[in-house]
Amino acid sequence: MIRNTPVTLKFLAEKLKMSVSTVSKALNDYPTINEYTKKRVQEMAKDLHFTPNKSAINLKERKSRIIGIILPNLLDHFFTRSIYGVEQFATANGYNVIIRQTHDELEKEIQAANMLLKSRVDGLIIAISKNTQDFTHLDQFENIGTPVVYYARNPSFNLNCHKVLGNTFQGSYEATKFLIKRNHQKIAYLGGPKMINFTHDRFNGYINALKDYQIPFAADLVAYTDFDKESTITAIQKLFSNSENMPTALVAFKEPILFDAIKYLRSVSHPNFSELECIGFGNNAFITYLDAPPIASVEENPEAVGENAIKLLLQLIDQEVELLNYQKIMVDCKLVIH
pTM of the model: 0.79
Give the pLDDT score at 52: 66
Give the pLDDT score at 209: 98
Using CA atoms, how far apart are residues 195 and 130, in angstroms rounded to an integer? 9
| Average pLDDT score over residue span 298-318 | 95
Using CA atoms, how far apart are residues 184 and 182, in angstroms rounded to an integer? 6
Per-residue pLDDT tens digits for 28-52: 778 788 999 988 888 888 888 777 6
Per-residue pLDDT tens digits for 162-196: 999 999 999 999 999 999 999 999 999 999 888 67
Are 297 and 283 spatial neighbours (Cβ–Cβ below 8 Å)? yes
Per-residue pLDDT tens digits for 221-267: 999 998 888 899 999 999 988 888 899 999 999 999 999 999 989 88
Which are the contacts of 225, defined by CB distance < 8 A and separation ≥ 6?
A: 190, 191, 192, 193, 231, 232, 234, 235, 253, 257
**Sign of the dihedral through C-alpha 233, 170, 149, 303:** positive
Per-residue CA distances from 131 to 8, 117, 187 (Å): 49, 21, 29
Using CA atoms, how far apart are residues 255 and 76, in angstroms rounded to an integer? 10
What is the longest distance spanned by two Cα atoms in the chain? 91
User: Is the predicted pLDDT of residue 58 greater than 60, yes or no?
Assistant: no
